[in-house]
Structure 1
Amino acid sequence: MTTQILFIRHGETDWNRIKRIQGHIDIPLAMSGVDQAALLGASLARAGREGARLDAIWSSDLMRAQQTAQPIAQAFGLTVQLTEGLRERNYGAFQGHDSDQIAERFPDEYAHWQTRDPGFAPPDGESQRELYHRVLHALEPILAKHPEGRIACVAHGGVLDCIYRFANGIELEAPRAWPLLNTSVNVVDFERDGEHMKARVVSWGDVSHLPGPSDDDGVKRRSPL
């Protein structure tokens, strides 16, 4: 049985613009993000009128994801179902800072972070490996509830990164070479083979509903010395 999931990154926030790490801090959408979410909802509504069904919509419980999910839910007459499992990575003490500030305040931890060690966790935070397993674990009950369904999951850049790596068998240590765009639609088919879950990317990084470019998830790069 195949379940198709439209993974959607939340719309733009003020902190996205300045590359400040949000993590679990509950930042709302910027007005630009509200507009992006409305355009996405209208685009999916048009697809629905042309026969593209949507059986359910799930979202991270953080505000920026919920706000992005709501226009889609309204378009299909659905209720947004929330799960903490689709939250962004918990960056602990790094949250609220950009990379320059992290390097200044936590130089040793910053240096370790830059090695791409998936076991590294910021102080009071979560490692990439922990995030990866959390996301996959959170998907299991969602897939169980929607066998042969077509659903949407509104989440965050870190969550989408985990999904792409899982579907393509890419190690956590590998540098990212795929986009994680605000309000992008990323379609993935999931199948269960006994206890095993398999995934296949159908399409990735679709922002055709937007009139201009969409910002990629990422941190501010340090200025050269």
Structure 2
Amino acid sequence: MTTGRRLIVWRHGQTEHNAGGIWQGQLDTDLSETGVLQAKAAAEGLARLGPHRIVSSDLRRAARTADELAAVVGLPVTRDERFREIDVGTWQGMSQGDVAERYPDEHAALGRGEDIRRGEHGEAVEHVRERVYAGAQDLLAGLAEGETAVVATHGVAGRALAAAMVGLGQREAWLMLGGLHNCHWAELAEHRTGWRIVGWNVGAGPVASGTSDH
């Protein structure tokens, strides 16, 4: 009897911007020292799942996270820009407090769960959902029955992907699931009727304080 495929959606380790409450978006930041330690610990846990493929966002914080797993299991990492974080436009590099002060209407809309373009010319979550879902479908097309793929991505992008895979609306995902912690992952399993989220915010180590979903 064959078993379905498995998809692991893994958020990158902590960055200094996460710890400081700074909107990163597609700003290409590195892991902090804490983030590197998180990635190493998580890699040991993920290795026990026996991954067959590793794909990551091309942004350094996700790529470095994926490289830690690759070093443990001996697999190459494919970079795919479709798994990048949400583009936050003019908010990139701003603190959450500054965004709330300078963009009060937009900040309030986000607090209500509305899916708006971030930072004037950035993306809405629906735009992110479209590209991460397309990336996942291409990845899964090359995955055999019973195999496991790991996608190293970002907070908003990761939740958008998990929700898209199970047909959950993005606002509902925001309300029901919340965010993925740094270096924690969602486990999705394929069943006869479709994909299911069987694990959320799974991790191999403690959650660092002050992490941001952005």
* Structure 1 residue matching 2:45: 3-state secondary structure: helix
Mark the runs of 5 or more structure 1 residues left unpaired by the alignment. Answer: 220-225
- What's the CA shift for 1:162? 1.1
Q: Which residue of 1 aligns with 2:4?
A: 2
- What's the CA shift for 1:141? 0.7
Contact 2:56 2:152 survives alignment (8 Å): yes
Identify the match of residue 39 of structure 2 among 37, 40, 44.
37
1:39 & 1:132 partners in 2: Cα distance? 28
Structure 1 segments of 4 or more deviating over 6 A? none
- What's the CA shift for 1:202? 1.8
Q: Which residue of 1 aligns with 2:198?
A: 202
1:116 & 1:44 partners in 2: Cα distance? 32
User: For residues 162-195 of structure 1, what are the alpha-carbon distances to aligned partners after superposition, in whole Å with 9 as ceiling and x for unaligned?
Assistant: 13323454322334342411111321124698xx
2:191 & 2:134 partners in 1: Cα distance? 15
- What's the CA shift for 1:138? 1.4
Contact 1:166 1:199 survives alignment (8 Å): no
Mark the runs of 5 or more structure 2 residues left unpaired by the alignment. Answer: none
* Structure 1 residue matching 2:106: 3-state secondary structure: helix
Task: Letter of the 2:185 partner, please give it.
Answer: V
Q: Which residue of 2 aligns with 1:164?
A: 162
* Distance change (3 Å), C-alpha of 1:111 and 1:74: same
TM-score normalised by L of structure 1: 0.83
- Rg larger in structure: 1
2:159 & 2:137 partners in 1: Cα distance? 17
* Structure 1 residue matching 2:170: 3-state secondary structure: coil
Counting helix residues as a fraction of each chain, which structure ranks higher? 2
Contact 1:88 1:159 survives alignment (8 Å): yes
Q: Which residue of 2 aligns with 1:213?
A: 207
User: For residues 93-126 of structure 1, what are the alpha-carbon distances to aligned partners after superposition, in whole Å with 9 as ceiling and x for unaligned?
Assistant: 1111122101222334334444432244431200
2:176 & 2:73 partners in 1: Cα distance? 33
- What's the CA shift for 1:143? 0.8
TM-score normalised by L of structure 2: 0.86
CA RMSD of aligned residues (A): 2.3
1:78 & 1:159 partners in 2: Cα distance? 23
1:129 & 1:192 partners in 2: Cα distance? 27
- What's the CA shift for 1:3? 2.2
1:191 & 1:83 partners in 2: Cα distance? 26
2:164 & 2:12 partners in 1: Cα distance? 20
Q: Which residue of 1 aligns with 2:151?
A: 153
Number of residue pairs matched by the alignment: 208
Instruction: Report the identity percentage.
Output: 27
Matched, 1:56 2:90: no
1:83-122 to 2 correspondences below 5 Å: 83-122=80-119
Task: Letter of the 1:188 partner, please give it.
Answer: L
User: For residues 191-214 of structure 1, what are the alpha-carbon distances to aligned partners after superposition, in whole Å with 9 as ceiling and x for unaligned?
Assistant: 698xxxx3211212112x21x334
2:67 & 2:143 partners in 1: Cα distance? 20
Identify the match of residue 141 of structure 1 among 127, 138, 151.
138
Task: Letter of the 1:146 partner, please give it.
Answer: L
